[in-house]
Chains A and B, each alone.
Chain A
Amino acid sequence: MANKIARLNAREQDPTLRAQNFEEVSYGFTADEARLEASRCLQCKHRPCVGACPVSIQIPDFIAEVRDGEFTKAADTIARDSLLPSVCGRVCPQESQCEGSCVLGIKGLPVNIGKLERFVGDTALAENSFKPVKAAPNGRKVAIIGSGPAGLACAADLAVKGYGVKMFEALHKPGGVLVYGIPEFRLPKDKIVAREIAKLSALGVEIETDVVVGRTITIDSLLDSTEQGGEGFSAVFVGSGAGLPYFMGIGGENLNGVVSANEFLTRANLMKAYDGGHDTPIFVGKRTVVVGGGNVAMDAVRTAKRLGSDAFIVYRRSEAELPARVEEVHHAKEEGIEFRMLTNPVEILGDEAGRVRAVRCVKMELGEPDASGRRSPVEVAGSEFEIECEAVIMALGTSPNPLIASTTPGLETNRRGGLIATEGGATSRAGVFAGGDAVTGAATVILAMGAGRKAAVAIDEYVAGLERFFWFE
């Protein structure tokens, strides 16, 4: 099946044009493009791509179906392992997962698995071909806390197994980071996210928004039987994410004009501040400095650019260490984002009214590798300089919200605030499972989905164990 066709990339919106709008960057494959790219897959026997996928999508199978023009079949194949192909095809770090392990990549370029997955997902959404297939109701209820990637994946698998699943979302819209964090130009909200989540409703999953677990209700009240005044869930999955933003702890961070990437992106994405018809304000300076080098930093800097600001990335290591997806860095550069590498802010400077006027930075150089294996940046003495700007966005990562741990007796956390959980998601409390960023700290959508799926298996076993226990009685 091997052929000599070059890797096909999806067409993209012109960089100058797209830097002024919030339309999606990539147009995705047409059917012909998808079939052509699919024909490059070697269909190798040992399938390294499947092992590299956190949710084990049977990648060569769906690619063969795309190649043969069987798009609905391909969608069914993916649906056995993931309910969110249109999301994952857009936001997964394919270069370090499926595509990173593709045999074609050893000598040339790997199959464009991400864009093929997206094509299959989008085609299924357009044709409305998703058929909810689930076991008969088993009479057991599971509560899912947080409707982000971990919770969605866990909910889907449990619903398929016949559980009555209810998700609780703190914000007013389900989707978690897919809705508040990742921008429209990378992941369309109405066209993609809302419709992928609608599949869960089709599976019978109930979603209650505006419920902050730990405040509005507690995990204990969910697990308590209805006779005890509780809600009678057999088990709870905590997929509440890592919501609390880090700041640097440098001078001037509370000046007007300094925001966390979470705040900036939540205003733009969840509250749709970029769209004139919505009430939430957003502040955009003439020049915006974004501190950080991850996907969130790229999302923030490209959003600032689209809102009319000259936008800069300031990152303390070099480009090789940028944790963001390669594609995002590439897109950001095309859009005219300036990258100031090996640069670290030491103070934010304000005017007499308390508004940001500049960031004072130092140059860095790379020293010995640190615990993460990356060469650690060291300050260059006497290299201080200022970057003038009116807005500073801190994209330094996030930590789990302590609310659930602090209101649930017996739920243990590690020193970074993450819930302690086994590979299968079991926590220190019987019946309480956890996965995703709430456990690991900030990571990726697909890892959270993988954790959600594993927890679904563990929850199923746990609840089956409860049944056996009842039979003994």
Chain B
Amino acid sequence: MFRIVEKQQLTPDTVLMRIAAPRVAKAARPGQFVMVRVDEKGERIPLTIADYSAEEGWVAIVTQTVGATSLKLNSLAAGDAIADFTGPLGRPSDFVTVAEDELRAKRFLFIAGGVGAAPVYPQVKWLHERGVRVDVIIGARNASLLIFTDQMRAACDNLYIATDDGSAGFHGMVTSLVKELVEVRGEKYDEAVTIGPMVMMKFTAMTTAELKIPTIASLNTLMVDGTGMCGACRVTVGGKTVFACVDGPEFDAHQVDFDEAMRRQTMYRTEEKQAYDRAKEGASASASVSAPASDHKCKIGRDE
């Protein structure tokens, strides 16, 4: 069992938890993920690492309530324990193997969408600590859904906010803001990293391809074991089938077949919806349970 040492409600449906997992904390590197199983009957879900401390022996995860498992996880309290917490899995971000001098000669732009701000954070922090120039864009539908803005601001050179409704920062999508930064304000970036919903990464990749900025995307595919055994996470990158869990989760965003990846994410949509409805019914008595914002209109077709 792995104890929840701290819980923070970041938005009505997004929770940060620090999990006591000394072995994982010691080995974690930017870009990696963990597999989490909440309880004995639970499924295994991949969550990208949001922060870690080898000294204190914890790993942070940020989970948005989107289905039965995230609902169950987010309704736990500090002091509770989860059944399993395995990792760190996947390959660390490529930049951790690059010489620091070489990194300091570059300028990075991170483009995060929604809860994607959480997994972007350890990467930004790692680079910033080594004196690498890093700018960050965090995008969300509205100001109330923004997370990690304070710690991100402290860990990068420039933090830009974009909201769809203009309630904070730039009024518009992150893609428009990227264009504005590069084309209007004349900012120059050598590499970009994007983490967020698949559809957001797809359009971000299209934008950075136009701007000729090499871009990495971190793919949040379906997974069962997370160690290369099942192949549920198959994605096509550069015309080749690869496994996000062991070959990724980070890939050249300009080579990823995002349409296929989005379609593959919907594989168990019917079953997931049923499980979520059951879980909501079961949990409705508990006031501490956070439900997803009801006014959310899905832009990637999950409501259809």
Q: Closest CB of chain A to B261's CB: distance in Å?
A: 9
A212 touches B87 (CB 8 A): yes
A245 touches B229 (CB 8 A): yes
Knowing A215-B87, A279-B69, A281-B271 are in contact, say whether A256-B227 is a contact too (CB < 8 A): no
Q: Closest CB of chain A to B262's CB: distance in Å?
A: 10
B231 touches A260 (CB 8 A): yes
CA of A281 to CA of B27, assembled, Å: 31
A210 touches B86 (CB 8 A): yes
A262 touches B229 (CB 8 A): yes
CA of A401 to CA of B84, assembled, Å: 22
Q: Closest CB of chain A to B20's CB: distance in Å?
A: 13
Knowing A212-B87, A253-B241 are in contact, say whether A243-B271 is a contact too (CB < 8 A): no
When distances are taken between beta carbons in the complex, the residues of chain B under 8 Å from A259 are 230-232
B230 touches A256 (CB 8 A): no
Knowing A243-B229, A262-B229 are in contact, say whether A403-B266 is a contact too (CB < 8 A): no
Q: Closest CB of chain B to A243's CB: distance in Å?
A: 4
CA of A395 to CA of B234, assembled, Å: 16
When distances are taken between beta carbons in the complex, the residues of chain A under 8 Å from B37 are 172
Chain B interface mostly: mixed
Q: Which of A257, A278, A282 contacts B41 (CB 8 A)?
A: A278
Knowing A215-B27, A271-B43, A281-B275 are in contact, say whether A266-B230 is a contact too (CB < 8 A): yes
Knowing A210-B84, A254-B260 are in contact, say whether A217-B43 is a contact too (CB < 8 A): no
Is B10 positioned at the interface, with any CB of A under 8 Å from its CB? no
Give a binary string over B239-272; 1 marks a CB under 8 Å from any A CB, 0 the rest: 0010000100000000000001001101110011
B224 touches A256 (CB 8 A): no
A279 touches B264 (CB 8 A): no
Q: Which of A212, A279, A401 contacts B42 (CB 8 A)?
A: A279
Chain A interface mostly: loop
Is B24 positioned at the interface, with any CB of A under 8 Å from its CB? yes
Is B44 positioned at the interface, with any CB of A under 8 Å from its CB? yes
Is B113 positioned at the interface, with any CB of A under 8 Å from its CB? no
B227 touches A170 (CB 8 A): yes
Knowing A281-B275, A283-B268 are in contact, say whether A210-B27 is a contact too (CB < 8 A): no
Q: Which of A171, A217, A257 contacts B27 (CB 8 A)?
A: A217
Interface size class of B (residues with CB under 8 A): 35 or more
Q: Closest CB of chain A to B199's CB: distance in Å?
A: 16
Q: Closest CB of chain B to A239's CB: distance in Å?
A: 15
B228 touches A243 (CB 8 A): yes
Give a binary string over B78-119; 1 marks a CB under 8 Å from any A CB, 0 the rest: 000001111111000000000000000000000000000000
CA of A245 to CA of B246, assembled, Å: 13
Give a binary string over A210-235; 1 marks a CB under 8 Å from any B CB, 0 the rest: 11100111000000000000000000
B225 touches A254 (CB 8 A): no
CA of A259 to CA of B41, assembled, Å: 22
B224 touches A280 (CB 8 A): yes
Is B149 positioned at the interface, with any CB of A under 8 Å from its CB? no
Q: Closest CB of chain A to B180's CB: distance in Å?
A: 35
Is A338 positioned at the interface, with any CB of B under 8 Å from its CB? no
When distances are taken between beta carbons in the complex, the residues of chain A under 8 Å from B227 are 170-171, 212, 243, 401, 403
B88 touches A266 (CB 8 A): no
Q: Closest CB of chain B to A136's CB: distance in Å?
A: 31
B275 touches A271 (CB 8 A): no
When distances are taken between beta carbons in the complex, the residues of chain A under 8 Å from B275 are 279, 281
29 contacts between A and B (CB under 8 A): A171-B225, A171-B227, A172-B37, A172-B83, A212-B86, A212-B87, A215-B89, A216-B24, A216-B86, A217-B23, A244-B229, A253-B234, A254-B234, A254-B236, A257-B267, A259-B231, A262-B229, A263-B224, A263-B231, A266-B224, A271-B224, A278-B41, A278-B43, A279-B72, A279-B275, A280-B224, A281-B43, A354-B260, A403-B227
Closest 7 CB pairs of A and B: A281-B271, A263-B230, A281-B268, A280-B43, A279-B43, A172-B84, A243-B229
Interface residues of A (CB under 8 A from B): 170-172, 180, 209-212, 215-217, 243-245, 247, 249, 253-254, 256-257, 259-260, 262-263, 266-267, 271-272, 277-283, 353-354, 401, 403
